[in-house]
Structure 1
């Protein structure tokens, strides 16, 4: 594809010099338009199609500096090469500060035309580089805006999904609660209550996600407080009046929060069933962080491990705790010094694959 010849606007009140410049630059492949005054040059510029301007300083009416000032006010003005016969260097400095791309001295015989050709070539090259840079910056900004819009849309969709999932889980938990409350069979009531607690543990994570500005993490202290409040309102709530929480503000990803919630639910319900056979008693949930490590404990002051396991127990709760502990890559221990039962889990705040990925990113 052939590149069109650049068009130069030569603004000078000297008609003879205008003809010399026109012939000289046409031989170099330029289309040249001559304007004999600043006003005429500005009028031609507003018509468009000018790639570069050569501008004389001394002219009747608007002089070169005044014309240059008005050129700079035109949207996307072409580069300007300032031309004058004056030996006063202050004019050159003023012109360059006013936005001229280059400056050169002229003579009355046209010997400066080759220099004008070089200056206009450089001015056009600088203009092309500047345009490419501006286009690149504009594209970067546009790409950033598109990414921000997509990220905002994705976050909105995730929030909506979490909202719908959370509502669905809450409905299921409520139905299980109603069924457990109306059941006359103790084993059925217990099974429904356990199922309700497990669903509520997951529902609380989703509730925290869609009511938070951060969809990537959950504050465990807020999450556990809400989860324990759900347990207090459950079918077994009358036996959890002394259920307490002591937790630091620990952020964790939603998947690990679900596992922690299910473990807390299982161990609290286990303490309610077996720690205090005759009445309600204290149950303490504690969560502490030390650097990248987190310690979770569920303790009671009940009968401890010195009694026989309830023959009606299926061991499902223990299997669930072990499965969730494996998901957390947690170590599960019983505290032998505690008079009742105290289960301690220790795990990393961030899972091993995520931790290695974060380290490599740093």
Structure 2
């Protein structure tokens, strides 16, 4: 409705009363159109331009309740004030339940016209409130739909990015493996193999992300199983044939999964190189959860603390483990009572700062 005078359609078979209503409401700022039957009222309503309806109950042909029912079937109908000379409250209740906005008892002298003007004004205001509410709800639904579409597009793009990054890293790891296999120098072979394991640890996270329905978390048990399988395939002479994993189902974010995978790669490769000078032996990786705390163990049954430091070692692996442990805010311990080497890392499932941060609100 605009600032122009509102148009009221008065449906009543009483011509004299119709003239009284028209004169009275026109003085109050309404444009009034009067029709003598429910059928005529419905026909006029279909032409549009009606802001509010005053509807009599007792009319030949369609009565007021039957007309009201058909009015409510029209899309976005104007508000209706039900008007009748009957004192029967059942009619009022029935009309209000059928969709009327208000109910008035009329008289033949037109003394009800001021009350009709108040009721029509109130019905128009209520209609404006309902329209504003419906428009707001429609906008909210549209915003949610747009947000859902954007979120779906973002997820698809992230999945594609992780797929491409994972493929690229896998290609790099394969190239490093080929280079290591063809190298004649043990030092170069070892360096390339170590680099390949580190790249593969990161690639496995991206592989998990683009093959998962959840782009925000990684199942560590599945991730570690795939990572260790990569290490077994890359090892020479079956030196990792006794590499085993025992891991509980644990979820964590991708960044922490990368750090965990790199630590496992470094410590497993360290055990392969130094724990069994005479050949192969068992290497066990264990991951268990206690609430929000995780414990990661990498253990072997090798020479342990009795081995002397390798003079060719650069200490790079130890520095990487320390850096990744700091990223996890992990406590790293070496079990002095274990006959071989047993490294224990304890850390939270999620970073303390990230866990304390509130989730962003959806639009």
Corresponding position: 1:168 with 2:173: no
- Equivalent residue, structure 2, for 1:243: 243
- TM-superposed CA distance for 1:87, in Å, is 2.0
- TM-superposed CA distance for 1:236, in Å, is 3.3
- For 1:132-173, what per-residue CA distance to the aligned partner results, in whole angstroms no more than 9, with x for missing partners? 111111111111111111111111111111010000000000
Q: Which shifted more, 66-75 or 233-242?
A: 233-242
Give the Cα–Cα distance (whole angstroms) in 1 for the partners of residues 353 and 47 of structure 2. 63
Give the Cα–Cα distance (whole angstroms) in 2 for the partners of residues 312 and 119 of structure 1. 96
Give the Cα–Cα distance (whole angstroms) in 2 for the partners of residues 314 and 120 of structure 1. 89
Q: Provide the aligned C-alpha RMSD in A.
A: 1.5
- Equivalent residue, structure 2, for 1:3: 3
Corresponding position: 1:87 with 2:87: yes
Give the Cα–Cα distance (whole angstroms) in 1 for the partners of residues 123 and 307 of structure 2. 94
Give the Cα–Cα distance (whole angstroms) in 1 for the partners of residues 11 and 304 of structure 2. 101
- Equivalent residue, structure 2, for 1:263: 263
- TM-superposed CA distance for 1:237, in Å, is 6.2
- Equivalent residue, structure 1, for 2:206: 206
- Equivalent residue, structure 1, for 2:24: 24
- Equivalent residue, structure 2, for 1:310: 310
Q: 1:358 to 1:87 in 2, by over 3 A?
A: closer
Describe how 1:65-144 pairs up with structure 2 within 5 A: 65-144=65-144
- TM-superposed CA distance for 1:359, in Å, is 9.9
Q: 1:359 to 1:168 in 2, by over 3 A?
A: closer
Give the Cα–Cα distance (whole angstroms) in 1 for the partners of residues 58 and 308 of structure 2. 110
Give the match's secondary structure for 1:239: coil
- TM-superposed CA distance for 1:355, in Å, is 2.0
Give the match's secondary structure for 1:110: coil
Give the match's secondary structure for 2:238: helix
- TM-superposed CA distance for 1:358, in Å, is 5.0
Give the Cα–Cα distance (whole angstroms) in 2 for the partners of residues 197 and 114 of structure 1. 88
Is residue 181–residue 235 contact of structure 1 (8 Å, CA) maintained in 2?
Answer: no
User: What TM-score results when the alignment is normalised by the length of structure 1?
Assistant: 0.97
Give the match's secondary structure for 1:244: strand
Alignment length, in residue pairs?
A: 361
Give the Cα–Cα distance (whole angstroms) in 1 for the partners of residues 335 and 189 of structure 2. 31
Corresponding position: 1:50 with 2:50: yes
Give the Cα–Cα distance (whole angstroms) in 1 for the partners of residues 289 and 202 of structure 2. 22
Q: 1:237 to 1:101 in 2, by over 3 A?
A: farther
- For 1:177-230, what per-residue CA distance to the aligned partner results, in whole angstroms no more than 9, with x for missing partners? 111112221111111110100000000000000000111110100000000000
Give the match's secondary structure for 1:305: helix
Give the Cα–Cα distance (whole angstroms) in 2 for the partners of residues 72 and 338 of structure 1. 82
Give the match's secondary structure for 1:280: coil
Is residue 81–residue 103 contact of structure 1 (8 Å, CA) maintained in 2?
Answer: yes
Gaps of 5+ in 1: none
- TM-superposed CA distance for 1:129, in Å, is 1.2
Give the Cα–Cα distance (whole angstroms) in 1 for the partners of residues 36 and 5 of structure 2. 22
Give the match's secondary structure for 2:357: helix
Q: 1:69 to 1:360 in 2, by over 3 A?
A: closer
- Equivalent residue, structure 2, for 1:145: 145
Give the match's secondary structure for 1:238: coil
Is residue 256–residue 328 contact of structure 1 (8 Å, CA) maintained in 2?
Answer: yes
Q: 1:312 to 1:33 in 2, by over 3 A?
A: same
- TM-superposed CA distance for 1:356, in Å, is 1.9
Give the Cα–Cα distance (whole angstroms) in 2 for the partners of residues 305 and 274 of structure 1. 11
Give the Cα–Cα distance (whole angstroms) in 1 for the partners of residues 333 and 32 of structure 2. 90
Q: 1:239 to 1:163 in 2, by over 3 A?
A: same
- TM-superposed CA distance for 1:14, in Å, is 1.0
- Equivalent residue, structure 2, for 1:321: 321
